[in-house]
Amino acid sequence: MDFTQALVRGILDGGKAAYRDFLDRGIPDELLAGSAKPALDYLIKHFSEYGSIPGIEVIEGKLGIPMPANPPGTTAAFWSDEILTNAIGNEQKKTIDLMLKHLDQQQIMPSFEEMQKAVFRIQRLQVGGGDQRVTSMFEEGPKVWDHYLRMKKGERGILTPWKTINDSTLGFNAEELILFVARSGVGKTWASLQIAECAWKQEKRVLYVTTEMSKLRIALRFYAIFSKLPYGYLRAGQLDQFQEVKLQKYCYDLVSSPNFGLIGGNFDFRIETLAAAIDEYKPDIVVIDGIYLIQVPGKDRIEKAANAFGDVKRLTARKKIPIVVTSQFNREVKVNNASTARAESVALTDAAVWHSTLIFGMVQTDDNKKDHRMQMKQLKVRDGAGEDFELNWNFETMDFSEVPKSPNAPGGTGGSGAVGDAQDVGEELGISDGNVPF
């Protein structure tokens, strides 16, 4: 079967999303052969010039290459995997034949060398989801142009509830590990739930992982955020009559709503469980509350924490999704001295800084608590200038929006400054408390 022909047909059927997925997979050009190779080359050239996928009739009419329909249920992603799998199988067969010839002649080391060379060749074919092959810089050109066109049209990654973060990051994107860090009890779980809720309101498929709290405790907080009902009264069963009606409505009206998965709730959550859950649920974004509690091998807490960050970072690359995690500052960060909050102050391991694409520190001094405020410090922003800002942090009004910058502050405009909060993101997309995507 001509795999390249099936791949081209899959891209034509799947449109831009299928084409971007094909680019992200980085299939070596030598594997894209057969009668349909000119059609694939034309498709790539057409997209680079016009930013669109040509129609089937263009491929067949202009190039004279037939595009028969693929079997039902197969996609460009399926044929991309088939091309790589077939190539890996061929490499193994060739290697086994060569190794057996050497072994028949008692040539042990040459046989072993054939195996080593085969491992390198298979790594070039992206085994395990990581692109290990050496490529030309200029192979990335079509991806750069595609990225530029998407940004020009206003496309962004998954937005957060806060405008300043959205401005500096352009949203959270595939393969990013995003860390929110604070002292114990400051509000990491609340922030992680707001990020998850905001992504869900953008109609993204969310998987929320709790390594410490029960599912019920997480759900209590989520419903308080979503319904904007005071958490203390909700948790204690002390809402007034009108608030109870509102809570009951959401508790039952949302039961069948899709795209917000919840997993965990114990201290024995393992990286293998997370990988399997991602494969099964296929989320657009994963949020892990308490990465340091994921069970991974290691001789002590420090090595385990380092391994947890390393394993989760590898997951972001293999699964092509952003993963947001929370962790704790060490004791060098003083409660009433926000300037002591630095990226290097993440507790247990330096691996958190090495592996994280973005790091945001949450600091709340005694004065902040009195004013119902929270400081958000952008400690690591790889591709932009991270600006610190303040949040409302009020559990009576359930207001966690960004505080408007004063006209005299750096970058301040005197405007609302909260265009990017969860409520406004929902309103921009036509989603409000009364218009939830079921």
pLDDT tens by residue, 120-143 = 677 666 544 445 456 678 878 888
Amino acid code (one letter) for 270: R
Average model confidence (pLDDT) across the chain: 83
pLDDT for position 435: 43
Separation between Cα atoms, residue 49 and residue 424, nearest integer Å: 35
Q: Coil, strand or helix: which one is 177?
A: strand
The phi and psi torsions of 54 (rounded to 5 degrees) equal: -70, 160
Local confidence band at 427 (pLDDT 50, 70, 90 cut-offs): very low
Higher pLDDT, 416 or 284: 284
Local confidence band at 116 (pLDDT 50, 70, 90 cut-offs): confident
Higher pLDDT, 214 or 438: 214
pLDDT for position 438: 31
Q: What is the per-residue pLDDT across 288-330, written as a single tens digit (0 to 9) for each?
A: 998 888 888 788 888 888 888 888 998 898 888 999 999 888 6
Q: How many CB atoms sit inside 10 A of residue 7's CB?
A: 28
- Superfamily grouping for domain 163-428: P-loop containing nucleotide triphosphate hydrolases (3.40.50.300)
Contact 122, 114 (CB under 8 A): no
Helix ranges (DSSP H) in 2-75: 3-25, 37-50, 56-63
Q: How many CB atoms sit inside 10 A of residue 112's CB?
A: 13
End-to-end alpha-carbon separation of the chain, Å? Answer: 41
Local confidence band at 269 (pLDDT 50, 70, 90 cut-offs): confident
Separation between Cα atoms, residue 224 and residue 126, nearest integer Å: 44
Local confidence band at 384 (pLDDT 50, 70, 90 cut-offs): low
Higher pLDDT, 270 or 134: 270
Separation between Cα atoms, residue 302 and residue 351, nearest integer Å: 10
pLDDT for position 120: 66
Q: Is the pLDDT of residue 418 over 60?
A: no
Separation between Cα atoms, residue 325 and residue 291, nearest integer Å: 6
Residues written for the chain: 438
CB within 8 Å of 90: residues ≥ 6 apart: none
CB burial readout 378-393, b (16+ within 10 A) else e: bbbbeeeebbbbbbbb
Separation between Cα atoms, residue 285 and residue 173, nearest integer Å: 9
DSSP letter assigned to residue 329 = B
pLDDT for position 50: 86
| Exposed / middle / buried, residue 241 (Cβ in 10 Å: 0-12, 13-18, 19+) | exposed
Q: Which of 113-127, 134-148, 255-269, 346-360 has the lowest mean pLDDT?
A: 113-127
Q: Is the pLDDT of residue 410 over 60?
A: no
CB within 8 Å of 62: residues ≥ 6 apart: 42
pLDDT for position 299: 80
Q: Which of 86-100, 135-149, 157-171, 424-438 has the lowest mean pLDDT?
A: 424-438
DSSP letter assigned to residue 402 = B
CB within 8 Å of 423: residues ≥ 6 apart: 401, 432
Helices 76-104 and 3-25, axial angle in degrees (round to 10): 100
Helix ranges (DSSP H) in 125-214: 141-152, 163-169, 188-201
- Assign 3-state DSSP to the chain and report helix, strand, coil percentages, each to 5: 50, 15, 35
Local confidence band at 407 (pLDDT 50, 70, 90 cut-offs): low
Question: Residue 169 has which token pair?
Answer: 């990051």
Q: Is the pLDDT of residue 207 over 60?
A: yes
The phi and psi torsions of 110 (rounded to 5 degrees) equal: -60, -35
Q: What is the per-residue pLDDT across 86-111, written as a single tens digit (0 to 9) for each?
A: 888 888 999 999 999 999 999 998 89
Dmax over CA atoms of the chain, in Å, equals: 87
pLDDT for position 128: 41
Local confidence band at 415 (pLDDT 50, 70, 90 cut-offs): very low
